[in-house]
Structure 1
Amino acid sequence: MSINPFAADSAVPARLAAVGPEVRAAIAARTKAAISPRNRQPASNDGSVLAAGIAAELVSEFGLASVRDLMCLLLDVAKDIARPSISDFHVGAVGLEAETGNLILGGNVEFPGTRLGFTLHGEGFVFTRAMSRGTNISVVAIGEAHPCAHCRQCLAEYAASEKLELIDPLGHTLTLAQLYPWPFDPNYLGERGAVPGLELWPALKFDGDAASPMADTLLAKGRRSHSPYSKCPGAVLLRLKDGNTVSGLAVESVAFNPTIHPIQAAMVDLLAHGYGYADISAATLGTVRGGAVDYSVSTRELLARVAPDAPLQILGWTP
């Protein structure tokens, strides 16, 4: 067991312990109803998101001290989003959007039959959702406020990470700088880090005939791909059996690994909106063919495991 060098505020677990099982159940039920699939269509991009207004209502109605306490109470709800099919170890995470005050819920995801490197951690799920939504996370709640080194490197990629706070039900409030005090961050390669919503590749265009009804949407996603190191933006659109689509874009790391591949990000979007792998009917990938990074291989591999009957169309583009 690792040694914890940080002090916790004992008032936090005391307050949370005072919230009885009936209140916890009521908060969980209200939250699940608010983020249920019927209320979170992909077009609105609000999957796994609890609106700030509803969060404020829950804090007021149930006499909670703050939205941060609510975030800690919602960790069990977030675990329901997790899909740890190999370990059966469920991890929940809840992020506070800096721009909106909304809460993003997420969990860890594992993919049997393929590489463990495709695994998504709970923190990564939340930050990937925020990247898709074009928002930053200012506070993230997890079971214990010491994410693994993989996640610390992921979080350090974001331009806003210097202000990021991590909280937990034990009473810790820590900054990423405290947990990762001398980071290998984008500054080392002269980059600013990931900025959600930024069109890093405004001149991105297809290198040939883009005969796909999803081409324009795919191109818009690709232009926001955080790919400053390889110069190879990538994006995936998944067409679903009900006619909707979900998507994902690449989020590179200055350390290269851990980079979030477009297909991983698309799986986050899929699960966040209440869909399963069986709902995928087809996929379209935009990638730099023959580039330093070509997402064709990773997309084929993961898609073949989760949706083997879904055809994959690959469209090449140039930055």
Structure 2
Amino acid sequence: MKRWTSATEMSHSVAIEELLFFIERVANGAATLRFLCGEPGFGISLLVRMASQRAHARNLVTLTVPMDLDWGEELSVQGRADLVGKLMRSIATAQKPNGKAIDVLFRRFAERCAADVSAFHKSPASVLENATREIILLPGGPGLIASLSSYCDAFEKKDRNRMKDAVRSVASAPLQEVREIDGSFSGSALLELAPANLLHLLSALARACDYDGLLVIGEKKSGSLPAERDAGSNAFGTIVESIEQAIHDGASGLGVILPMRPGEMETVLEDLGHRDRARSTDHGSNEADEHHMALTRMMISVPALTVADFAEVG
């Protein structure tokens, strides 16, 4: 069996330990971000898969976010519907590790509510209100609660068609399908949410469904981010800002892992520094530098292979 040198194996072990500790923190309610930084072909994909498996084992929901995600205001309504639908379909759990698990969350929520109604002899409305006390305070919360309420009612009556409709109101992409179901459903409301609000809402949904939180994993479709600032790097900067905003707004049990190359990390940090300076009037440079340092400390380094490694594996 091919093996790396002991030094490289030790370095990879350190990265793995950092990643597992990070996931443990999220499962215990922390909200935080990590950049998984290294060259392609040196185990980043393996670490991402390991993170997803560990997250599911620790009762976390996972969500995959394309790292070239465009949430620009110029995006059409249909474009936003397709984007939200794609994110919803990427939701995965231990029961459905390959995605399309929003129905698992809804069913688990309904089972929790039904159990509480029976155990505490409360009305379904009272149990629903208690289970969604965090969701109701968030942008998009009332619409999501309408979908959950409809699902719970259909679950109690064993109406599978209405259960599917309630799930589709959140998970389906085409806007016309959302409108055809029920105007009170949350599909159209989710389209209006800023990325930070959507991440916060989904982490709250995961916890309301008796999961311990949400792990968001960045996905790179092709190659690396361009070296120069353009739509790709700007979109990535928007993702980072949105994550920070969700954490600042009080999200808990929210973890984010973003894989990237070292050069991409530098580009994104530079872009964010320019944004910081553009927003700040007094002491802008110091604030930008502090932000840069804070983000740098969130990096998990995946070591490159050495000459000795290549010699050992042939």
TM-score of the pair, normalised by structure 1? 0.26
Q: Based on CA coordinates, which of the two structures has the bigger radius of gyration?
A: 2
More helix by share: 2
> Which of 1 and 2 has higher RCO (CA within 8 Å, sep 6+)?
2
More strand by share: 1
